[in-house]
Structure 1
């Protein structure tokens, strides 16, 4: 059996099989715009408050992946922020109800069949079965000024504070009463932080794409190209790690590591590597270094709001912490073996169990036209190795 030059084509093929089509991004954008237009119609009860609907989560970050099965749906997360209303003017419950009434009216006007559902922090619009997605809409108010003051008072980083929002949460003790202390979030700030962590590579790839389009006679500027038209090794790595996690915990979702922890630690560890293989090597070997421990609990701070601990549930549910470190060890082992393999078949065998055998088989065909396709021999140094990476994460002592 002949050897292949590098694991990179296989990883690139895996990502392409995981990636959602551009049409899904456009479909999500259309959904936000349609809902936003509805909030701005003349009869709207929230029009005077300057509603702004925008995306958050994996669609905003460019790390969305296909569902594991046809029975699963895309989860499109969004925010409806009322720009001209403040926490002093309204309670969480009233804001939630106000946005909910407009969403229900939109649902009726669009003749949507599945009923509007209420979540803990959001309203959920279920689209037709053929669309295979639902949209979560989180009611929100601007919170940039208060967030900056809060962080400044503690001498914490305020770079991302301007886009902070206050959100509703039915489980918040002050949900029904007037208060200035609302649950906080900052999806725009987080996406800007994530983008900042890969800025050098993102810009290089957008310039390359713009030049490629110009050579084909298509006018395109870097500024006009949406970020989702290119994909960085950081985004690709997060996509691979999320699917590996999904399959590893398919039958134990209660302790499954949450995406925001994986994404945050990966972004911290990433250092603008140009290939997926190099990015994965660095991320998997370093991500545990960005988990803090204050002597009592693990801490994974929200980079846009250091007062929020993404790993807060690890304290009361230690099984979640154990699951994360077990997953990290397994990911190091699986991708490490793939990086050291010299045939597509061996790469496939290394990750098939936790990436999914159907997915990996398709990736092999995409990368090399079949498991046994011949390829040239590469220098030994061309393949990054995880061999020296500790298989068991050390107990985190602080931030690197």
Structure 2
């Protein structure tokens, strides 16, 4: 690790020693009753030290399923299996890279470079992934990667949601969760 784990407002960040500035965010959460949802810890919540029904909720499993469906993961996995004549159980998850996954990687890298000097303004991975996936959903298949990238860029701004007249990014599988809450908090501080 580059430094000790950073205990943030919602998650712990572990930065690794590498030339790519690789890090992983670990969100502390607890199960939310008998559903697939989780209750998210947030140090800004007045009830942070008490387990109550007033914690923010999320559903990462449903979000994952939404992403997989739109990225057409199973279709790309089948194509990989056929091209290499291998059985499904012999295709590790990480070996399948859909066009959407590659686009998200490009956008995340772009954000790293673009905001290198002001990382506090860099959009979070979940925002990049959500907007990209919403744009990708509206595109007919384009085989040329650069054409796909250009089309995605042209659609991104129109994928923002609005709450109280302000732009935001809501969780597409649960509109109660505002993924861009950081924007609102920064606006209140600024």
Question: Which interval holds the TM-score relative to the shorter structure?
Answer: 0.7 to 0.9
Change (3 A) 1:143 1:225: farther
User: Could you report, residue by residue, the CA deviation over 1:242-272 in whole angstroms, capped at 9, with x for unpaired residues?
Assistant: 2122212111222222222221111011134
Which of 307, 330, 333 pairs up with 2:176? 307
Structure 2: unaligned runs, 5 residues or longer: none
Change (3 A) 1:178 1:227: closer
TM-score with structure 1 setting the length? 0.40
Which structure's CA Rg is the greater one? Answer: 1
Tell me how large the CA RMSD over aligned residues is: 3.0
Name the residue aligned to 1:248: 114
**Residues 1:283 and 2:152 aligned together:** yes
Counterpart CA distance in 1 for 2:74 and 2:158 is 27
Q: Is the 8 A contact 2:6 2:12 kept in 1?
A: yes
**Residues 1:138 and 2:27 aligned together:** yes
Counterpart CA distance in 2 for 1:143 and 1:165 is 5
Name the residue aligned to 1:54: none
Counterpart CA distance in 2 for 1:121 and 1:313 is 11
Name the residue aligned to 1:179: 52
Q: Is the 8 A contact 1:301 1:307 kept in 2?
A: yes
Change (3 A) 1:163 1:223: farther
Q: Which is helix-richer, 1 or 2?
A: 1
TM-score with structure 2 setting the length? 0.77
Alignment of 1:87-102 (within 5 A): none
Alignment of 1:295-374 (within 5 A): 296-317=165-186
Name the residue aligned to 2:69: 196
Name the residue aligned to 2:101: 235
Counterpart CA distance in 2 for 1:141 and 1:265 is 27
How many residue pairs are counted as aligned between the two chains?
182
